[in-house]
Structure 1
């Protein structure tokens, strides 16, 4: 999030600290001057947010095949210039950010309720998307990391704060630029340039550069003082509300209640900071600053933590030892997979902290026709926990391993953790090292046995399915076993959309209209896509018994296509029409419906 208001200040009032740049020209000049290919560090979630929402509708539930092409074009645009891309993605939320995480989830829920109310009142879906806060569709993060891997780009998933790890990497590796959208990047040391993802134009390869040195010069402070200015303006560590009284004192009078002019304020804060020493000596002044700013010397630790969060020269340990050599080796395996961008972020949090976070989706808990997605998926998660934690020694007073879940299932669901038991596997479990590293076919049989047990389906039935449709087939079967109440035509809609997707090009899909027949279609799509995500996690935890090209959701998830099939199925269209009158699609449809019947 960074410093609220700083981005706007940079773009409007910063006296040359923000300016347009030609990326092609900068890369070309760098290569000529150094004889090297420049390293450009990408904030993966920022790229995902801005590229997806600039190019594609998010309300439909995920245009992932089209998104694949968007990301591919993005990567090729940089690679063709001779740049090396290194992408970073967020890990699981930090426990220290719990309150902020909950606040954002509840704000998102309120926005979703307003969105559904607008749609129910007949609002145009495209206008609703424009008016409401963007949401990233399920499984899009999995797609973007997959494409980066395919094109040989280094992918990292962070353990600590993502912006700090990006900046530290950029500083250590002399990177040309960071491409992101978080004002904290102009506070950190880091790359030579900080390029704005929000203003990035893929067609012209231009954007805005936020200049740290020129910002400091415009405020008449040394760059080393920027972290203290950020702390006193309010950032991710020091709450904005906590520094408001101090700002009011600095400004002395306000034009209206609770309004602080950012330009004047940051200049006054800089005036205050300018008299203080630079470097380590500043830490000796923190008690005095806390007393003057907060009227509370006990807040010294908060200022210390904030300054430390910007210090890229200190090492923060992220490796935890339990004293059990075997389990510690498993923890290291999970850590290495996590850091190198393989598998979902939640796995690291589950094995290290035994905690799972579940965010807000396009669900309306005011209506009880569908269960909360996180609730219906809990049993599947319990099996996943059992596989992940199988080798961890139990405490003397434990029968099962426990995992703390903080998941959105309604307005009051985030008030406290829910403790759930891991369900240990009853079939052979050779250990995560073997599951994740061994390529032997006999291990694949064990992997499928673990998958089958988790979804209560015989592996012999799974083997009959087309490989690229195993995920949606297992998802549908699981949901029906859990008692999801849906009409047959709704099952027909999701199945047919998954089946016909493979033969449709991104251009075909782009031409489809966005038509939302009712809010249930969106809410149902949320349950389906979140179940796909959980099945993907299950397959990854079991060591990917399928090539990931068959697992990734571009094979079967397309929001606009599903909504069109949903409308057709609701209107009584035949299976033949839903399958685009293609014999191979109809045969696959019958195969999967037979599988679901046999598995029930």
Structure 2
């Protein structure tokens, strides 16, 4: 994340760049200097997730009630000091950063494999040194902050630029995050989240002026330095040889600096002494080994320039959208300011940027052409109300990060495949509007992490037809209509996306928040035959017991041991909740967001406790902790789920009856089966997940093939 090597250099070789600050004192000074203007800290929320997630347990699927309390305390502390917070979340992965995104996801996959190895060997959660944030944490942090009344936004590009632009435009107190890119942006002060002491509201400010003084550079030189050192856009090896030559030349005249710090100093010295001296005589690409990457390099430098800022290293003024390598490069998503790189006033640099393709203005290409619908989707996206909908409708590309899944357990499928049929129906709803049906829609490019996927290419996933009673409504009917019956149509469409229309009445009649949970459980148990009655008991019992437990009580729970299968089941359920958020967003929000958040229906450690009890054969009375009211609810919810599954020809039985676990078979085969194992929806137009492996184009499903999960994971 950020500029490679810069964080280590500041910490080891340039510590005076870091200065301790008291945010309360800074806020008081801000109020005295700007009466009537509330001191504001703009937060790069993605950088803060690890800082916020302090519950001891993390491997079981997330301690969501505890986490919500942590966030409540965080925002309450700032509010008590009179400091306003504005939170920004990444809304997409930019194409230029896809390679870096893939590298991190593959690294996380290796870390997850080690976590499961540890759990199997020791029966316990690994130490914090192996910590991985629970699945869905970024999405549900947005929902938690909004529930706490915070100004929460989702970006139309990666967050760092929008955070920096907001901080500069609004004269914010500072940016709170953990990304050395904020040392490069010429914006408001940069505060470290990792050094924040919440009790005293003190932290460390990283001063870019001090950094420049130490390196002999000016603020406008920092973007060039960042690109030469390497960042999320410039490939890691692009300037490796150049940095080595700089280091060799610099080492001859310096001593006492480690190699990592030496590289930063050497490149900065080269900029100050060599590149500056020839800037008026030669173009930058003549002094650097840019080769075929020069357009990418200049774009990376320009990405650090905020509206109204200039660079002595870039002389041309690109228009809002530049075509590079036949890809659309969007300008700033800020509606008040278009991205631009102004012409430098430096008379020594009047050369044009040496791009292979001339800049040209183009309208962004989207998958949906209705401007009114796109405007609504954009508004919900920016306001952090929806999930993936705007990405599907504009770029036709979505991604999902790592999930705690055991690659060696073939009896449980990856969430990427379990919920794919739901996503396919959502794609049909979003993209087939006005097209004449899903068959005319292009496939959606999915970057989903699962075992065996090298992420060299996206999976091409085609929309899947669905049946809504009374016909599929248009997006305008779902999103904009206020007519009587509109809400019922939204609910009908939601159940159709889950392919649960036949059980709609019974499930819709359940009280909140158990309605959403039971819908999810019916879907899961119909899809995955390796789930048994013990699993259902554990899911229902923990949801009921959760209602009467405080965050402190949940924190105090102690588990005898950790079961790797229960670890994966916890993550599978939470990913199901994120899928419900997608469905609810696409259908016009028929359900309240409060029904879909995990702290309402799930606690990882509590689920684990109930799972272990259920596996031992504990009766329902023990699972609900001898509470008569809960016992009545338990039997009612279990009955609704089991009956709904029976209507789909799925009878839930005890896992004790068919142990050992079946290997490789996670959905039933047979005539009329509509689950992902056979590749068929009820309409017979589904697609087997094994036929949509990494980078494969769409293929017709073979209803006679029987697939083990491993067949879909080899490339």
* TM-score, scaled relative to structure 2: 0.77
Question: How far does the alpha carbon of each residue in 1:354-397 deviate from its partner, in whole angstroms, 9 at most, with x for none?
Answer: 122232211122221111111111111111112222325369x9
Matches within 5 A, 1:371-382: 371-382=413-424
Corresponding residue for 1:248? 244
C-alpha separation in 2, matches of 1:331 and 1:360: 29
**Residue in structure 2 matched with residue 140 of structure 1 by the alignment:** 137
SS for the counterpart of 1:40 is strand
Aligned to 1:239: 235
- Counterpart secondary structure, 2:460: strand
User: Which residue in 2 is equivalent to 1:71?
Assistant: 71
Distance 1:596 1:122, change over 3 A: same
Q: Determine the C-alpha separation between the residues in 2 that align with 1:356 and 1:272.
A: 41
What's the CA shift string for 1:278-308, capped at 9, x where partnerless?
8xx78973212323xxxx5333223212211
Bigger mean CA offset, 467-476 vs 317-326: 317-326
Q: CA deviation at 1:445?
A: 0.8
Return the offset for 1:441: 6.0
Structure 2 distance, partners of 1:439, 1:135, is 43
- Match in the other structure for 1:366: 408
Aligned residues: 585
2: distance between equivalents of 1:438 and 1:155?
26
User: Which among 167, 186, 191 is matched to residue 189 of structure 1?
Assistant: 186
Report the alpha carbon displacement of residue 439 of structure 1 after superposing the two structures with TM: 5.6
Contact 2:153 2:383 in 1 (8 A): yes
CA-atom RMSD, angstroms? Answer: 2.6
Instruction: Tell me, yes or no, if structure 1 residue 387 matches structure 2 residue 387.
Output: no
Aligned match of 2:128: 130
Secondary structure of 1:422's match? coil
Instruction: After TM superposition, list the pairs within 5 Å mapping 1:579-594 onto structure 2.
Output: 579-594=624-639
Matched, 1:216 2:201: no
If each structure's helix is expressed as a fraction of its own residues, which one has the higher value? Answer: 1
2:314 maps to none
Counterparts of 1:277-296 in structure 2, within 5 Å, are: 285-291=283-289, 296=290
Separation of aligned partners in 2, 1:196 and 1:87: 15
Q: Deviations over 1:155-207 (max 9, x none)?
A: 1111122101110111111111100010100100111x211011112122111
3-state DSSP of counterpart to 1:356 = strand
Q: 2:8·2:261 contact (CA, 8 Å) conserved in 1?
A: no
Corresponding position of 2:710: none
Aligned-partner Cα distance in 1 for 2:529–2:288? 55
Q: Which residue of 1 aligns with 2:42?
A: 41
Indicate the SS of the match to 1:503: coil
2:215 & 2:133 partners in 1: Cα distance?
36
| TM-score with structure 1 setting the length | 0.91
Query: Among residues 222, 227, 232, which one is paired with 1:226 in the alignment?
Result: 222
**Structure 1 stretch 421-430 or stretch 158-167: which is displaced more?**
421-430
| Secondary structure, aligned partner of 1:240 | coil
Counterpart residue number, 2:152:
155
Range that drifts further, 108-117 or 482-491: 482-491
Name which of 418, 439, 443 aligns with 2:486: 443
How far, CA to CA, are the matches of 1:327 and 1:222 in structure 2? 47
Asked if structure 1 preserves the Cα contact closer than 8 Å seen for 2:38 and 2:84, the reply is: yes
Q: Secondary structure at the match of 1:365?
A: coil
Q: Deviation per CA, 1:470-518, whole angstroms, max 9, x where unpaired?
A: 2221111001111331221121111111121111111111111255432
**Displacement, 1:567?**
1.0
Larger Rg: 2
**SS, match of residue 241 in structure 1:** coil
Report whether the alignment pairs 1:332 with 2:329: no
Partner of 1:204: 200
Match of 1:51?
Answer: 52
Who is 2:109 aligned against? 109
> Which residue in 2 is equivalent to 1:528?
573
Contact 2:66–2:551 under 8 Å retained in 1: yes
Q: Is the 8 A contact 1:321 1:328 kept in 2?
A: no
CA distance in 2, matches of 1:403, 1:249: 44
Residue 301 of structure 2 is aligned to residue 307 of structure 1:
yes
Aligned mates of 2:573, 2:55 — CA distance in 1 = 23
Q: Distance in 2 between matches of 1:325 and 1:186?
A: 38
Which of 495, 499, 509 is residue 452 of structure 1 equivalent to? Answer: 495
What stretches of structure 2 of length at least 5 have no aligned partner? 309-319, 321-330, 336-362, 646-715
Q: Distance in 2 between matches of 1:392 and 1:414?
A: 32
Matched, 1:500 2:545: yes
Q: Compared with structure 1, are the counterparts of its residues 392 and 72 closer, same or farther at alpha carbon in structure 2 (3 Å cutoff)? A: farther
Q: 1:272 aligns with which of 270, 273, 277?
A: 270
2:340 paired residue number: none
State the alpha-carbon separation in 2 of the partners of residues 544 and 282 from structure 1.
58
- Taking the aligned partners of 2:570 and 2:583, their CA distance within structure 1 comes to 20
SS of 2:440's equivalent?
A: coil
- Distance 1:541-1:304 versus aligned 2 partners, 3 A rule: same
